[in-house]
Structure 1
Amino acid sequence: MRKTGRTFLAATAVVLALTATGCASKGGDGSHASSSTGGTGGGSSAPDAQAAALDPAALLKLVGEKTSAAKSAKVEATTEMGASKTVMKGAISWENGLQGEVSGNVGGAMAESISQAGGDGSITARYLSDAMYINMGEGMAGQLGGAHWIKYGYADLAKLMGAAGDSLKNQLQNADPISSVRALIASGKVEKTGTETVGGVKSTKYEGDLAAADLAQAASKGLTQDQTDALQKQFTASGITTEHIEVWISTDNLLVKKVEAFDSKVGKVVSTALYTDYGSSVTTSAPSASDTVDFAEIMKSAQAGS
């Protein structure tokens, strides 16, 4: 496979990782609050009485605990990164790191690259505890010796991509939907900015800006040191100085929607995710070995041939 093809496959991995995690990293102690987690994320008709009395930061902490406790959900995620746009749908769980499967389409510059390689823009990603698997359709299989799936082992990401790969590994192995909630708490500047109906769910919107300089005090604003360290690593690896964050919270204190926007080393990134059906059953397994190629092996073969 040509160098441009290898670069394209590496870029695809980054996009799919960001799409799945929403730039998320759980970090911290992973503590879960006991709560009712079923339904669409907005089933109750009135907010929890305790939550109604809390200030925005304290409420978001409660939301983080309840969403984390739900352990799984259906998700629709859109990632715009530079001139590429990826739209994916599926179901994920985050009880033991990111697991699940999402599928959809790629548009823009990356779609052009996929087309040149023989693909039609469709893409499926599976996430397991130790690796991410990507399938870009029958056309791409012709470039992979007939195999349909590319395996990106998390242990190999740092070796292949340096600090950015190490950051992605951390995000994928510790992902949950609520890093945005934690980030808003860390900013110390979160504001309630209105109410909206999102996907049929009555929701309250909160937003704020998290600057890299704010992270030094994040541990004193309700985050654990591990959570603060994870955010600092993400900012450093991605070249982020300020991130704008918006979240929509249902009346039963679950995350319904989030938007994260920031400038990074790869250009402007806007990540949007919608969550429904909290507590959904999520099962996934690795594709058959005979239908899989390892990206690390692709890189080794390329280096041996150069």
Structure 2
Amino acid sequence: MPQLSNGKYVVVGGASLLGSHIGEQLLAAGAREVVLADNLSLGTPDTIEALLADRRCTFARADMTRLHELLEVFEGADGIFSVAGFLGAPMAANPWAGVDVNVRGVQNVLEAARHKGVKKVVFSSSVGVYGAAGDEPNTEASPLRWEGMAPAVILYCASKIMGEGLGRMYHQQYGLDFLALRYSALYGERLHRRALDATRMIEAWERVRAGQRPRIEGTGEQVQDYVYIGDVARANLLAMESAASGQSMNICTGEDVSLKRLVQTIIRACGSDLEPEYFDDPAKLRLPRVPRQDFSRQRAKELIGWEPQVSIDEGIRRLVAWLDAEAR
């Protein structure tokens, strides 16, 4: 398997929240060369400005829907982190482009990796492959439950399953090492507004800092598994170095956090005593509201030795500190 020290790695979607953190950790691990590839349709140069100060790190403007652009940047690479993709809200706005990126784009990444002799591809998937999580523990064997979900969310979930299927096919047919990491809700420094849960965090912070009561949609009892971005980036590096291949695994905390608790944690991190207010917007795109998710992270521990290290309280404290610094 690729050894991070002295290797060359390409992060497709390198100007994103996760892509920038993977790049940062690769540099810290002693990588010889890190290429942050992005078409900047969603990511921004500001996200990676500090990383590019390191001479080992470069930016390449490349679109994963254009195979020839990937072939050029994959030259001499030891490993690829396939991070770029459409989320639920952009999928609703442009489903045609979303399916193209999340399916054909991933196929292009795999094809370019095969042609250039890349050793391993680590693919960013999602616990969305389970759809509306049931009450029982959700392991990697759990099915997609899509009945009653918004069409755009169904497309997003199914596109991640397609991406995983393509990766396993390339592993089986061509011997390309491949792992799919199924993330729960990501958050942390450099957070953007494109994910539904991230938007809730930023909106709560903005209202508290403006002296307004933060708003909670619904009853606030709906839960999510929030995993800190630094922990997720570390999972990617462990996956790249591991001997595991041809499999998928949850990257999550295994802890269900209600929206009410999340907002209260943000209020505390801001040093405020404001009380939240509740509302409902039936027209807003949302993930299924479930009282329990119970995602299992056992396989990640067994296959790559990964466990989360940052609690929700500490992670939110770091996020608020970053947001405050950005606002100055």
| TM-score above 0.5, yes or no | no
Instruction: Name the structure with the higher strand share.
Output: 1
Instruction: Name the structure with the higher helix share.
Output: 2
Compute the TM-score of the two structures, normalised by the length of structure 1: 0.31
